[in-house]
Structure formats: C-alpha cells, structure tokens
Chains A and B, each alone.
Chain A
Amino acid sequence: MQGSWWTKIEQMDEDQKRFVKLDADGLHLLVGPPGCGKTNLIVMRARFIYGTGLKNVLLLTFTRALQDFIRTGVEERKYLEPRQVQTFKRWALSHIASYAPGLLGSYDKNGSFEQQRQQIVEMLQVANQQVGGRNLFDAILVDEVQDLHIDEIKALMQLSERITVGGDVKQMIYESGQTIAELEKLGFTQTKLRFHYRIGTAIAEVADKALQPYDDADKLRTNCNYKEDELQSRAELQEFPTRQAQFEAMYKTVERQLRSYPGEGIGILIPRTFMIDELREMFKKTPLADAVAYHDEETKDHAFRSGKLIHVIVFKSAKGTEFRAVHLFGLEELQYPQNRRELLFTVITRAKTALTGYHSGKILASVATAFAKVQPPPPLADLL
C-alpha cells in the first residue's frame, strides 16, 4: 500500500532523529502516540542492525495483522527475511518446540487466552535454560510491547543482549499489566516521540475524547503534525435502521474512497469475529467482492501481501495497521467485555484521513462521547 513506509531522515523530527542515532547495542524503549512512526522506526532499526553484520535479528509483534503489515514492507525491500518477522506467540511455540519439545504435550490450547499465555511463559523459561547463553539472537525487536507481560520480556532478555521495544500504553488492547512502566527498571533507555503525523486533526479529536489524557499537552490533537491543507480529515458517526443499511452506506463511501485515494488501503474494522462472515456474504454480491482481504485465521488472502486494498479486520487484531480511511462497522456489537477505552482508542487511530462509525441501535457511551460534536455555545442574542 502506498504511503505506509518512509525512509528518509529529513522526514524525521528531532525525537525520531535521536532514536536513529542509537548504535545497535543496548536495551531501548521507544514510546509514543499512534502515528508517531514507532513501527517504522523499529523496522528500520532492525534493518540497520542487520546491516551492521548482526544478521540474526528477530522482530516480534503481538498481532498477526501487524506481523503481516511489516512483512509486506520488508518483502518489498528484501532487507529482512519475512521469517524474521513473527508474532510473539508463534515464535514462542516454535522456540519451545526446538528447545523443550516435551513440554508442548501439556499445552492446553483450549485454555483461556491468559491461561495459554501463562503456560507459554512457563515453557519459555524452561526452553531458555536449554539454550545456554544470551546470544541466541543478535538482536530482538518488539512492537506493541504494551500488550506483552513483563515476564515475556524477561524471557526475551535471556536470549539477546540487544533488545529494542516500542509501544504506547494507550493502545493496550489486553490487560497485561504495566509492562512499559516496568521496562526502565529493567535497564531500558526510553526515547519518547511526541508528535504524530499520520492522524488527521478530526480523527485525533475523536481519539482524545475516547481516551482523554490527564495532561492536555499529551493530547493527540495538541501534538498533531498532520497536514490538513494537503488532505483534509473528517470523522463522523452514522446511525442506520439495519446492518444491511449500514453496509449499503459504507459500500458507497468505500467505492468513492478507492477512487479518491488511489493505491491506498481502506480498513473495515469490526468488533466481533463472526462479523467477518457477515461482511463476506454482503460483499460477495458486489463488484468489489475480489478487492476485499478478510483477516481471519482460515483464509489465505488475509495478508497485506495479497495486494488487496480493502481489509476487514477484527478490532483486537487491528493494532499496528494504518489506513487512509477506516470504517468502524456494526459498532452496536461493541459490548462488554470489549469495553476498554484503549481498544476504542486503538481502532480510531488506525485512520489517517477519514473515519466513519456505523451503528444500528444502542452503542457504548464511550463511543457516542468520542464522536459527539462539541456544539459552540449559542450566540448571546439567541439566549435573550
């Protein structure tokens, strides 16, 4: 997809330049708001470290969507092998299979998400003891670190002396504890990125209302360097009587956006997994049927590498992705336990220029608040 990767130093701000001056060695933490370039800087750092001759580099993500997104970037440029980019879980199971295969027999894949994670961490610790030494990898880089447990990071620290992690506590999809706050105590040196470039002001305002920072100075709107004069942003919430009506309105907009932003990705983000099949059925009857990539686990065309421009992704898998236009479809399905404001903040901030929410019926108050237009006070004359 166009416009997703940049590689020029003159495009960087002072915070970013400070990060790219770092040598390959050490433990580093990169924090910053969505759209500040964390993922890009982490991928570039992986490439830089690889180029210094430290080729055994591993780049981990939390979600598969981000893994695929990064792989599209590195595949185009051939500077890293796609196999060097993996999700943490997938890598961990492979690592355990290599160094402590006997443990996998007791792995309960039917356990809850958190139970599985706990099992994997415990198995990792055993596997790492079999490795013998801290140089299994020349460097490990982790994006979305806010979703990893601190024990998972500690397990990685047993395998490499060069670790770089990037994250944003406000984009924490899973309740994983205060990983980022703990990292400095483990010796990580923090680089903080203040500005973001990707998210239009209208979208930044919605995101700030979805998850209001304590300090106004930390608002996305305050630190927004998006160029409105080049592509004006917009954000709105629309209500329809039925889901079919939502789809018809969304379809018209998507069709227009494909022509308005040629070559750029359009994201359709949905709160629940079952909605993938629902959308697949709806799109099947349209001329855009072959242009849609569904990011589920069973189909092969999920990846960004498919070259398709419309991507249907479940909220919890959307982190790290970015699209010129985002459609939050079927927002009435966003219910407990998916009511964490960080999740809403994350999906809103996937949009660069256009954000549209659709719902039929009741929605979470946090969603309504986020999209609510602040009305200017009426002129005094009207009140008198």
Chain B
Amino acid sequence: MNFSWYPLPRQDLPGILERRSQLPKAGVMTPDLSSTDVVLGVRREITTSDAAPAVVLVGSARKELFSWVSTYAEEAFPLSQFCRVCSIEDWTQLELEKRNDLTVGAPASIWPSIVLGEMLGQAKGDLDVAAVPIGRATACSSFAMARAVLLYPCNELAQSMCVERLAVIECDPRFGRRPISVELLKKIWNAAISLQSVPRKELNTPDTVLKVVDAIDKRTSDLLMRNTLLLSDSAEDRVVGFDSVADTLLDRWGQKSLDSHASPVALAAAAILAGRGTSHIRLLGPSSKLFPETLVWYALLAGVLGPEWWDKAWMRLTKGIERGLAQFFRPDEPVSADICWSEYEWLSRTYDSLEILASIPRSVSTSLAIELLPGVNCQFRFSGSTHIQSRVSEGDRLAETVPTDDTATVSPSNLAKAVDLLAHAQALLKPQAPLRGQSQSSLFTDASPTNEKRPTRRGVERASKKPPSGQ
C-alpha cells in the first residue's frame, strides 16, 4: 500500500484532520519521526490538496501529542475519530506498508468455535447455545486473538502483542472483570495456533480429542482412556461415563492432587466424547461454574473435530462469528473501534478516572471498543463502579508532596485552630522535650479536625477478606 507522508508539528494536526486547513504541499516517501511530533499518511493514489488523511503515525513524543490535542483541541481527541492512529513501531513491526494481501482467508473452524466457547464461558449463564447473542463475539478476547492470527499469520510478534495488550486491559480496574482470564485463554490459543496448521482430515476423529488431552496432561488422558463407557454406542452409558470422569476429577481437584488446568480440559473432552459432538454441552453446566474456561476447551476440541461434529445451534453461531472474523481490512480505512491502542495506552497511564474513558465518543455507552492492533478490535465493558482505585505509585508520590483529600477540606479557620493547638501543646511540652517532633505534622494530616478516624491496617485486611470464590 503506497502512502505519501507529511511530517507535522502537533499544532497543525487538528486543523488538517477537521479539514479546516490543508495538507502541506509536498509529502515524503518514508515516514520519519525524528524531527517532528507526528506524521500523517495519505494514500498516494488519491493525494490531492484536500485528501483525507488515512493514518497518523506517532513516535516518542506521543504523550506530548495526545496531551496537547486533548487539552487544546478537545474535540479532535481521540484522533481515531478521523483516521487510524498507530505507533511507528507497530507500523514497522507489522509491516503494514508492505502488505498487499488485504483480505482475510476463511478462518479455520477452530477459531470461530473458540470464540463461541468464550462467549458461553464469559456469560456465566445457561448453556443454551441457540440463545447466545452473536453481538457479544466482539467482546471476547478470543475474537481479537483470532483476528490477530488471521490478519498477521506469519507474525508471531503481532500475536504476542495482542495477548500482551489484552492482559494490560484486563488489569485496568475501569473495565469489568471477566470470569476467564487472558492467562487461561493463552493456553487454549497456543493449542489452537499449533493445531490450526494440521490438515483437517488428520484431526477429524475422536482420537484427536484424546491426543489433545494427552498433550496437555497425561494423567487426565489416562483417566479418559480407561473410561470405556465414554466410547460406548449407548448415549446413556456415555453420560454415565462422563459423570464418572467428572466425579473423579472434581474429587482430585478437591484434594489438590490435580493441576488446576487439567480438570477443564478433561471435562471438556469427556463432554465432547459423551455427546459425540457439541450436542451435550449442558453436561458441563455445574463444572463450568467452577472452571468457566472448560467451555473454551470444549470449543477448541469441537473446532478441532470440525463442522461434521457440530449441532445446528453451534453451526449457526460459528458461521456468524466466522463472517465477523473474515472482515476485510485495509490499513488506510477508517477505524471501526472507538479508540486506537496508542491513545488508550496513554489515557490509561495518565488518568485513573473512569469518567475520562467514559467521555470518549463511542458507539455503545456501556463499553469501549479498542483497536489492539490495526484491524484487531475488542470491546470492553466498563465496570459498574465509578470508584477507581488510584494507582499506588502515583498516589504515593503525590501524597508525599500534596495534602490528601481529607486535609484539602480543612478550612483556614480550622487550620488556624490547629496551629493554636499546636502552639499550646508545644508550650506544655517545652520543659520536657524539644519542639521538633512528628506529632506536629500529624496535627495537619492524621489528626486534622476534619479527618475521620481511619481504620487500622488489620481492620482493612479483615474487611477486605472474602470467602474463596466458588466455595
């Protein structure tokens, strides 16, 4: 894809993006951010004086750029409203300028299936596949990961960047916690990446299920192999076999004699074998409350086996997801997410408040769609609480130098009273001790008249102690 590049000072950017001013006359062939804040990319074949910019490349001065635009040209932030915003490192590492293949091939059945499994697992609800709204797919981390794998198939760095960014967002308290963490999903994605290159014909047998489990945990695969009921032609026997496997696994897990990741894989495999496909997902109802990732493992195994093993509802949903995954992508097209990664990264590091993220113009009021990599979006639901825990390091640093909120509410008259009290106390103490002492500063901080009594550390720990989840 050919671009003309226009190096610009940050002050010129809002006017050009809002089409109030024109691009400089001459562009350059290679983006260079060594002497400028930002480089605008315009597709070379449509370069005219009023051509719409397609890409904003940002370099090391991105903090200054975003801070400047969001302060002095508020309506122009996020820049993603106008075009794609990308760091120069991403642009280079993802080789976006060199790419000619702008379409995505048909995704292997494994990825749409995994996305469906995550939709079921993250929802924590009834396992009625037919009732799952397909719109939730883009809110699944697996959807983003699948897009990263499909759009950047030969670029392992792109895939690891996607995982890393999903993990960063997972730690942002402004977004709701998801039952299945990126760490748990990563194991499933790695398995999917390994398996997607194996020809489908070789995988399309029940043995594949046992081989996958064997590769993950030998002990649990032995448990499945020994359970002959699971391979019976009688559906009732297979369900009995499933129950037996589930009882054994949950018992071992309760005695802590089993790795936590082994049970979900084995349970998923047992359910697939019991149903000889995706028809018996409800068997996983109770165990998926304990291990929601079981449903994603189940979906991985279903994806490995392929559509011949899927029931109607599974087939219908995965086809819908497949269409979303195969969406056309061009680096010079407008961003469909609310905000690009560089902007989110800056916002999340700079501000702690939910309001800042919530004030970004977006398509859905309760969530924010972030473009993790060019063409790879994921939607994140805001957490219900507006109370955002401030980042400890910044808070500590400020606390050293600026009075806390509590002291900030002390009126001058109270401050004067405190000074009086201090003087009085010092006069009383004078014969016994020198004036200097920590107790004086505490009059202005800990023992300020407006300060409420603070709970002790132990009290806080007690209050925050919760019963272990799921027990």
- Interface size in chain A (residues, C-beta < 8 A): 46
Among B63, B73, B405, B420, contact of A8 (Cβ-Cβ < 8 Å): B73
CB of A126, distance to nearest CB on chain B (Å): 12
Q: Is A359 at the interface (CB under 8 A from chain B)?
A: no
Could you pull out 7 A-B pairs where Cβ atoms are within 8 angstroms? A55-B394, A78-B355, A79-B71, A83-B402, A84-B402, A86-B408, A98-B401
8 nearest A-B pairs in the assembled complex, by CB-CB distance: A51-B67, A101-B440, A102-B436, A97-B444, A101-B441, A105-B426, A83-B408, A48-B71
Q: Is A50 at the interface (CB under 8 A from chain B)?
A: yes
From B122-130, B289-297, B411-419, the one touching the partner chain is B411-419
> A221–B437 Cα gap in the complex (Å)?
57
User: 1/0 per residue A50-93: CB within 8 Å of B?
Assistant: 11110110100000100000000000001101111010011001
Q: Is B89 at the interface (CB under 8 A from chain A)?
A: no
Known A-B contacts A9-B73, A105-B423, A109-B420; A48 and B67 likewise in contact (beta carbons under 8 Å): yes
CB of A11, distance to nearest CB on chain B (Å): 10
> A89–B66 Cα gap in the complex (Å)?
34
User: 1/0 per residue B55-79: CB within 8 Å of A?
Assistant: 0000000011011101111110000
Among A7, A97, A104, contact of B74 (Cβ-Cβ < 8 Å): A7
> A90–B411 Cα gap in the complex (Å)?
9
Tell whether, in the assembled complex, residue B404 and residue A83 are in contact, meaning their CB atoms are under 8 Å apart.
yes
Tell whether, in the assembled complex, residue A105 and residue B440 are in contact, meaning their CB atoms are under 8 Å apart.
yes
Q: Is A363 at the interface (CB under 8 A from chain B)?
A: no
Q: Which residues of A contact B64 (CB under 8 A)?
A: 23-24, 52
Q: Which residues of B contact A93 (CB under 8 A)?
A: 415, 419, 444
Q: Is A20 at the interface (CB under 8 A from chain B)?
A: yes
User: 1/0 per residue B9-52: CB within 8 Å of A?
Assistant: 00100110000100000000000000000000000000000000
Besides A50-B67, A109-B419, 8 other CB < 8 A contacts? A8-B73, A8-B74, A23-B64, A47-B67, A51-B67, A79-B71, A79-B356, A109-B416
Tell whether, in the assembled complex, residue A52 and residue B67 are in contact, meaning their CB atoms are under 8 Å apart.
yes
Q: Is A309 at the interface (CB under 8 A from chain B)?
A: no
> A23–B426 Cα gap in the complex (Å)?
47
CB of A86, distance to nearest CB on chain B (Å): 7
Tell whether, in the assembled complex, residue A107 and residue B398 are in contact, meaning their CB atoms are under 8 Å apart.
no
> A10–B403 Cα gap in the complex (Å)?
37
Q: Is B351 at the interface (CB under 8 A from chain A)?
A: yes
Label chain B's interface by main secondary structure: helix
Q: Is B407 at the interface (CB under 8 A from chain A)?
A: yes
Among B346, B403, B436, contact of A83 (Cβ-Cβ < 8 Å): B403
> A79–B413 Cα gap in the complex (Å)?
29
> A106–B436 Cα gap in the complex (Å)?
12
> A51–B70 Cα gap in the complex (Å)?
9
Nearest B-chain residue to A16, judged by Cβ:
B72
Q: Is A44 at the interface (CB under 8 A from chain B)?
A: yes
Tell whether, in the assembled complex, residue B350 and residue A55 are in contact, meaning their CB atoms are under 8 Å apart.
yes
Q: Is B438 at the interface (CB under 8 A from chain A)?
A: yes
Nearest A-chain residue to B402, judged by Cβ:
A83
> A51–B436 Cα gap in the complex (Å)?
39
Known A-B contacts A78-B353, A105-B440; A297 and B412 likewise in contact (beta carbons under 8 Å): yes
> A21–B68 Cα gap in the complex (Å)?
9
In chain B, positions 156-213 with a C-beta closer than 8 Å to chain A are: none
CB of A65, distance to nearest CB on chain B (Å): 13
Q: Is A136 at the interface (CB under 8 A from chain B)?
A: yes
Among B356, B404, B415, B426, contact of A90 (Cβ-Cβ < 8 Å): B415
> A90–B75 Cα gap in the complex (Å)?
35
Q: Is B104 at the interface (CB under 8 A from chain A)?
A: no
Q: Is B443 at the interface (CB under 8 A from chain A)?
A: yes
Q: Is A17 at the interface (CB under 8 A from chain B)?
A: yes
